[in-house]
Amino acid sequence: MKIVADANMPGLELFAAHGQVVPVDGRQMNPSTVADADVLLVRSVTRVNAELLADSPVRFVGSATIGTDHVDQQWLQETQRAFAHAPGCNARAVAEYVLQALLLVCQKQGRAASSLSIGVVGMGNVGRRVAQWMQALGMTVRACDPPLAEQGVDVGYRLESIDALLDCDVLTLHVPLTDTGPAATRHLLHHERLAAMGANRILINTCRGPVVDNRALESLLREGKGPASVLDVWEEEPHVPGDLLDRVMWGSPHIAGYSVQGKENGTRMVYDAFCKWRGIVAPEGQKATALGVLAQDVQDERDLLSLLQTAYRLPDDYSRLQESLNEENSAAAFDQLRKRYPLRQEMHRWLWQGSAAVPFRPILDALFAPG
Ligand SMILES: NC(=O)c1ccc[n+]([C@@H]2O[C@H](COP(=O)([O-])OP(=O)(O)OC[C@H]3O[C@@H](n4cnc5c(N)ncnc54)[C@H](O)[C@@H]3O)[C@@H](O)[C@H]2O)c1
Ligand SMILES: O=C(O)[C@H](O)[C@H](O)COP(=O)(O)O
């Protein structure tokens, strides 16, 4: 069996027991790369559709990602090709990123995050965790998810419209990128909505770049009328517009979900689906032991930010992304930042020891809860 895989997918050795694994640059995959492949394993940068696979014998496609906008699932189904992805694999990494982003902006603005309201747009795997953690921090949480509202799903919050949420102090986006249907999300945050948010609000986008109209955001920020923004994702990746990067508060190269555990979970979930597709029992994964102890007292939000930054520093990602724009080929530099991303552990991989002021206990419990 020939298994063509994105070379950036960790843990490919799991698949090596089942055939010949051929690692390929995800952006360079083309019909000839998959001409004699049985299995295709991708990440978000490979477009999987008829153009890539029509003449290929590939029968199983796995994407080690949460997002699936790069995959034409309908065509895969119509042509009887099995598909699996990794729902929720890196939700925790994204929630840690959002928490740090929020604390950084608040520290810079001299505000207490706990006193703010946050609108969570998209209450799936990531959005629900973010909502739970922000509530644990003491924020007022509001939520929006028209598809779940339509289905009558109870997510623990009253589901409001996106327009109703524009008066929240903070808006955080956790929707898939979609182009059709009443809940399509491309340019969900268009010029009018961004302008309605205004300069006193905070916008965090960790879902997909085109959910925010990047040009509208840049022009509003240039005029001093746009929300303080933290962007992990960009409308035309791997191209990042320098004028927008200069105007956001923090930015990063689509790495919010790039924790060690987020990536490992992604591969593992696709591997389990692959084994099921082949009718074999997947061997158990190894149980991880704690990495060590983080000893730090948490008396205020500054301490909480500093604790988070023992594991990961968003400002470092921002600096690296800014520097990458000086490279002759900044799009290739963007991909390299992602390919060579430093190992980043999720907080729950450590044991935390210290004293905490009462209001911070719920968020610390959530951050260090196993699983
Ligand atoms: N930056 C990163 O590294 C990173 C990491 C993980 C996920 N993501 C992105 O984040 C997205 C969300 O992840 P998830 O795991 O929560 O996905 P999910 O599928 O579990 O949840 C998405 C939710 O969005 C809702 N939704 C759809 N259209 C909506 C709309 N117009 N308004 C409000 N809600 C809407 C859906 O009903 C669903 O509940 C993914 O699709 C992916 O594109 C990015
Ligand atoms: O959808 C996802 O899971 C994330 O956006 C993921 O982290 C993207 O990473 P990539 O597949 O581009 O390496």
For the chain (371 residues), the mean pLDDT of every run of 10, in chain order, is: 95 94 96 97 97 97 96 98 97 98 98 98 98 98 98 97 98 98 97 98 98 98 98 98 98 98 96 96 82 94 97 97 96 96 96 96 96 78
Q: What distance in angstroms lies between residue 55's CA and the mean position of ligand 2's atoms?
A: 27
Q: What share of the chain is helix, strand, coil (3-state, %, to 5)?
A: 40, 15, 45
> Is 43's C-beta closer than 6 angstroms to any atom of ligand 2?
yes
Nearest Cα to Cα of residue 200 among 109, 98, 97, 130: 109
What pLDDT score was predicted for residue 308? 97
* Residues carrying an active site annotation: 208, 237, 254
108 shares a domain with 78: no
Ligand closest to the CA atom of residue 27: 2
Residue 151 CA to residue 129 CA, distance in Å, equals 20
Asked, for residue 368, whether it belongs to a domain, the answer is: no
119 shares a domain with 69: no
What pLDDT score was predicted for residue 286? 77
80 shares a domain with 97: no
100 shares a domain with 73: no
Which CATH number fits the domain that encloses residue 69? 3.40.50.720
Domains held by the chain: number: 2
Asked, for residue 52, whether it belongs to a domain, the answer is: yes
104 shares a domain with 148: yes
What pLDDT score was predicted for residue 290? 86
269 shares a domain with 236: no
Nearest Cα to Cα of residue 252 among 194, 200, 318, 163: 318
Q: Residue 287: exposed, middle, or buried by beta-carbon count in 10 A (0-12, 13-18, 19+)?
A: exposed
Q: Which two tokens stand for residue 325?
A: 């724009």
Structural domain of 266: 2-85+260-278
53 shares a domain with 103: no
189 shares a domain with 114: yes
Q: Which two tokens stand for residue 286?
A: 């190894």
239 shares a domain with 120: yes
Q: Residue 233: exposed, middle, or buried by beta-carbon count in 10 A (0-12, 13-18, 19+)?
A: buried
Ligand closest to the CA atom of residue 185: 1
Q: Which two tokens stand for residue 235?
A: 């409308």
What pLDDT score was predicted for residue 282? 84
Using CA positions, which residue lies closest to atom 1 of ligand 2?
67
Residue 178, annotated as binding a ligand:
no
119 shares a domain with 134: yes
Asked, for residue 330, whether it belongs to a domain, the answer is: no
Q: Residues with Cβ within 6 A of ligand 1? A: 66-67, 87-88, 90-91, 94, 121-127, 144-148, 174-177, 183, 185, 188, 206-208, 232-233, 254, 256-257
Residue 361 CA to residue 371 CA, distance in Å, equals 18
Residue 317, annotated as binding a ligand:
no
